[in-house]
Structures are given as C-alpha cells and as structure tokens.
C-alpha cells in the first residue's frame, strides 16, 4: 500500500470533520442558542479528557498489530480482543468518573439563573455512556491502522464525524433543542460507528471467536499505551504553555492576539499528522536500514510539500487577516503569525522521527524528550515574554519547535538528515523575517516572498518529479520484490544501484 495514498486518506479523513463544523456551527447557534451550544462544547471537552485516560490503547493496538503483519490471524485477533476488553474496562471506569465530575463542571459553566439546569441533570447519564464507546472506538481504529487499512478507516471515521455534526442538528430540529436530545443523537451515531468499525476489523484482522487474553498481551498493551498516555498528557503542556504564560505575564487580550493566528496556522499540521499516522505501522518491525531509508524519504517529501505551503501561508496571512479581522487587530496579529508559521514548519518535520520512535516501540523516549524540554522551555518563556511580550512568546514557541526537531532526529539517530533541511529552513526563516519587517502593502516585501515561494516550488517540483509516487514508489517496489524473492530490500537496492 502506497504511503502517499495512505497519507492522502488520513488527510481527507481529517478535513471532513473540519468542513462539517464550518458549515454546521452557525446553524447550531441559531437553532439551539449560544448558551446551550457552549454546554454541548463543554460536554465534548469532558469526553476528550476521558478519552485521554484510555492509556494509549489506540496507538498501542496499531503498533502491536503492525508487528504481527506476518503473524497468524489468531495472534492478531487475540491482540485486538485484549485491546477491546481493556478499552471497555477503562471506558466504564471513565464513565463512573464522568458521572461524578460532569454535574459540577456543567453547572459551574452556567449562569446561576440559567434555565438549562434541569436539562443538564437529564443529560449526564447519556453523556457517561459515550465514554466506553469512545475508548472502544479508539482501540478498533488502532487495529485498522495497524493493518494499514486507511481507506476503510477514514471512510468510517470521516462519515461518522460528519454524522456527529449533522445528526444532532437534525434531531434538534425534529424533537427540540434540549441538551439530552443532542447527546442521545451523538450516542446513536457513536454506537453505529463502533459497530461498523467492529465489522471492518472482523474482516481486516480478521477476528476469530473471543478468547481470554493472555497476561503477556495485556501487559504489553498497558506498558506501551502507558508511555503513549504519558506523552499525550505532557505534550499538550509544551503546545499550550506559552498561552498560559502570556495570560499570566501579560493580559487575556494579549492571549487573543496570539490565539487568532495560532488557531489558523495549526491547520498546517493536518498534513504531517496524516503522514505520521500512516508511518507508525510501516515502521513497526522494520530493520534499521529500511527504517533509515523510509525516514529519509518521508522527511524529504514532507519538506517538499510543507515548505511551499508554509511560504504561501506567510505570503497570504497578512492580507487575509486584514480582510478577516480588520486592520487594527491584524496589525498586531500578523507579526505573531509569521513567526509561528516558521515554528510550525519545524514542528511538521518533527512528526517523522516521532512516528519512527512510536512505530519502533520506543514511546518511552518520546516522553523523556518532552520532560527534557519542559523546564528549559518554561524558563525561556518567562524571559522572552517578560522582555518581548506576545512576540517573545511566539519566538519561544518557534525556537522550541526547532530545538525539538534536532532532539528527535538525534534520538532517532538521524541527525545527519538535518543537513538536507538546512536550505528549506533558510527559506522559511528568511520569509518570516521579510514578512515580519515589511508592512502589508509593501511591494518589495511581497515580491521577495513571491520569489522565495517560487524557489521552493521549483525545488520541490524538480525533486518530486524524479521520484515516483511522491518518493515512496521505489521503496515500495523494492519491498514487494524482496517479499517475493526472499532477499532483503537493501540487497535489491544495491543491485539496482
């Protein structure tokens, strides 16, 4: 299966819920009102926190199933059943926890004279039932990811995400806009999605009759998933610490100046995240030399795609902000945005060595790298925000992204690949500097950015055109031949060369 095709499937699957939310949010606000929509959003946040307690079972299942690519179907089936049972147990525990926490959180978010207090009380139980469904959804998705069945996975997830946006709205129009009606609609869609995922796994794994899972399989899933959970709990601190620091050291208004461009630019990560999801099962069980080649090609092709995209974003960001939010606010948001855009380029590249560490079974190293960065980053934030305000916060975030890339490459023993990223990094930093220093109406600044963008496009087109299937076709062909002849991919590459 082509890695580029899998990445495209993941990218489309990520774009579907984004498009659905853009269309439906204004309608929701008209149909159910601002306060009730806020309560629904808080329900989603609570579910997100409960999902974070699933001990990384989705990623752990994907990695373990990928390792069993050439194993027996009985071994894969036993692993998936073990993950499903664990997900169900964790989900039930999470549901009980949610029953305790949700009333206090939702009532605290309401006005004291709110008319929705009774609606909240009637909705808690239905909300809690969503938790075990969410954890089982994660485990079954991981099984399809491990089998690299990304077309079917994203078809199911994309359809389910679109239904989660549309069906509660239809339910509100048909039965009334009560919070309970909305959550029951969400529950029905989630039940249907989990059922379809289960049927897909029964065919793709394939699943046999359920057996009592062995202690060794349970231990491996919990150990691996525990490290993934640790990374999942610590990594958001790195991604959001500057927002809290800006609010603490400056003002809430300053946080808004930072968040407006940050939320726009975060969409740039859809591409590397989609690639990382496709890479994790591919890295599982690879020999070191094959993993090195895959890392090199993935990073090279991500650079070829991400660099023109980031440079175009820098070129278009200022005019877009001026039209979207007005000249006065755009004047302070745009400089922050161009600095963050450079940081997002470095962060995008980090997804490749990250996927390698996870795919090769070393999530512990990812957690340790986050711990290493955290105290240094917090100190940097304090000094740079104190001296430079919101611009200092953006610089600190982007510098951390640069440092993190080098750290991940070094840990994956791929630091030599940084030499190939030097030229595009210079293009990105130069573009950020030009955009930061020139006003929106500067013809010279715009011309310089267009020139840098043209250089990146020509460079990407020239290099990508020389490699079939976005650079992964030759590697895929080598692996296919090696599987049919019994020789290693490296031997075939040597013969060709």
pLDDT in tens, 270-312: 889 888 888 888 888 788 888 999 999 999 989 998 999 999 9
The domain of 25 spans 3-213
From CA 89, how far away is CA 118, in angstroms rounded? 30
How many domains is the chain built from?
Answer: 2
Pair (117, 179) in one structural domain: yes
Separation of alpha carbons 229 and 235, rounded Å:
10
Read off φ and ψ for residue 437, nearest 5 degrees.
-90, -15
Q: Which helix (H) or strand (E) holds 174?
A: helix 150-175
Indicate if 182 and 269 belong to the same structural domain: no
Whether pTM > 0.95 for this model: the answer is no
Residue 368 covered by a domain: yes
pLDDT at 67: 84
- Looking at the structure, tell me whether residues 299 and 184 fall in a common domain: no
Counting Cα atoms < 13 Å in the Cβ hemisphere of 467 gives: 18
In a domain, residue 472? The reply is no
Q: Is residue 350 part of a domain?
A: yes
Residue 150 lies in a domain: yes
> Do 183 and 253 sit in the same domain of this protein?
no
Does 81 fall in a domain? yes
For residue 283, what are the contacts with CB-CB under 8 A and spacing of at least 6?
A: 66, 291, 294, 355, 356, 358, 359, 360
Closest CA to 421 of 438, 408, 433, 435: 408
Residues 167 and 57 in one domain: yes
Instruction: In whole angstroms, give the CA distance from residue 248 to residue 268.
Output: 27
Per-residue confidence (pLDDT) for residue 494, from 0 to 100: 33
pLDDT for 426: 95
* pLDDT of amino acid 343: 94
pLDDT of residue 114: 54
The pLDDT value recorded for residue 342 is 95
Q: Does residue 240 share a domain with residue 209?
A: no
Q: Is residue 12 part of a domain?
A: yes
Residue 49 counted as domain residue = yes
* Model pLDDT for residues 103-137, shown as the tens digit of each residue: 776 666 555 455 666 777 777 888 889 889 988 99
Q: How far is CA 487 from the centre of its chain?
A: 36
Q: What is the CA radius of gyration of the chain?
A: 24
E strands along 199-262, which residues? none
Do 19 and 168 fall into the same domain? yes
CA distance 274 to 449: 28
Domain identity same for 354 and 461: yes
Q: Is residue 485 part of a domain?
A: no
159-218 pLDDT, tens digit each: 988 898 889 889 999 988 888 898 899 999 999 999 999 999 999 898 888 777 778 888
Same domain, 191 and 299: no
Which parts of the chain have pLDDT scores under 70? 1, 42, 45-46, 48-55, 105-117, 232-233, 236, 251-253, 441, 463-497
CB atoms closer than 10 angstroms to residue 387: 9
Rounded to whole angstroms, what are the CA distances from 437 to 52, 332, 433? 41, 13, 6
Please indicate, yes or no, whether residues 198 and 282 belong to a single structural domain of this protein.
no
């Amino acid at each position: 299966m082509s890695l580029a095709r899998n990445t495209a499937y993941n990218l489309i699957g990520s774009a579907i819920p984004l498009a659905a939310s853009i269309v439906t949010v204004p309608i929701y606000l008209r149909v159910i009102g601002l306060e009730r929509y806020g309560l629904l959003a808080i329900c989603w946040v609570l579910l997100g926190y409960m999902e974070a307690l699933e001990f990384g079972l989705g990623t752990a299942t994907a990695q373990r199933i990928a390792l069993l690519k050439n194993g027996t179907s009985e071994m894969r089936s036993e692993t998936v059943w073990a993950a499903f049972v664990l997900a169900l147990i964790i989900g039930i525990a999470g549901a009980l926890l949610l029953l305790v926490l949700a009333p206090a959180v939702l009532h605290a978010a309401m006005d004291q004279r709110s008319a929705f207090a009774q609606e909240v009380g009637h909705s808690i139980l239905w909300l809690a039932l969503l938790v075990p469904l969410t954890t089982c959804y994660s485990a079954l998705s991981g099984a399809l990811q491990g089998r690299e069945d990304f077309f079917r996975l994203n078809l199911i997830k994309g359809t389910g995400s679109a239904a989660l946006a549309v069906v509660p709205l239809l339910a509100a129009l048909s039965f009334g806009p009560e919070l309970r009606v909305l959550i029951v609609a969400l529950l029905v869609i989630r039940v249907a999605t989990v059922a379809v995922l289960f049927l897909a796994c029964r065919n793709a794994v394939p699943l046999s009759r359920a057996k009592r899972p062995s202690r060794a399989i349970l231990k491996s899933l919990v150990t691996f998933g525990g490290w993934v959970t640790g990374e999942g709990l610590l990594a958001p601190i790195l991604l959001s610490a500057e927002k809290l620091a800006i609010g603490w050291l400056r003002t809430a208004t300053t946080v808004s100046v930072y968040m407006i461009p940050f939320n726009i630019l975060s969409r740039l990560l859809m591409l590397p995240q989609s690639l990382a999801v496709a890479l994790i099962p591919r890295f599982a069980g690879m020999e070191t030399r094959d993993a090195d080649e895959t890392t090199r090609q993935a990073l090279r092709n991500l650079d070829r795609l991400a660099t023109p995209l980031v440079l175009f974003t820098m070129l278009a960001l200022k005019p877009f902000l001026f039209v979207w939010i007005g000249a006065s606010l755009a004047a302070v948001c745009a400089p922050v945005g161009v600095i963050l855009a450079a940081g997002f380029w470095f962060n995008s590249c980090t997804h490749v060595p990250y996927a390698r560490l996870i795919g090769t079974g070393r999530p512990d190293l990812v957690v340790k790298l986050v711990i290493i960065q955290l105290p240094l980053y917090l100190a940097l934030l304090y000094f740079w925000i104190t001296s430079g305000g919101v611009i200092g916060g953006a610089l600190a975030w982007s510098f951390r992204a640069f440092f993190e890339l080098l750290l991940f490459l070094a840990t994956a023993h791929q630091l030599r690949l940084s030499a190939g990223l030097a030229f595009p990094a210079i293009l990105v930093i130069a573009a950020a500097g030009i955009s930061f220093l020139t006003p929106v109406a500067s013809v010279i600044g715009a011309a310089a950015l267009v020139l840098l963008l043209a250089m990146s496009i020509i460079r990407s087109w020239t290099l990508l055109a020389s490699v079939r299937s976005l650079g992964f076709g030759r590697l895929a062909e080598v692996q296919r031949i090696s599987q049919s002849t019994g020789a290693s991919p490296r031997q075939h590459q040597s013969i060709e060369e």
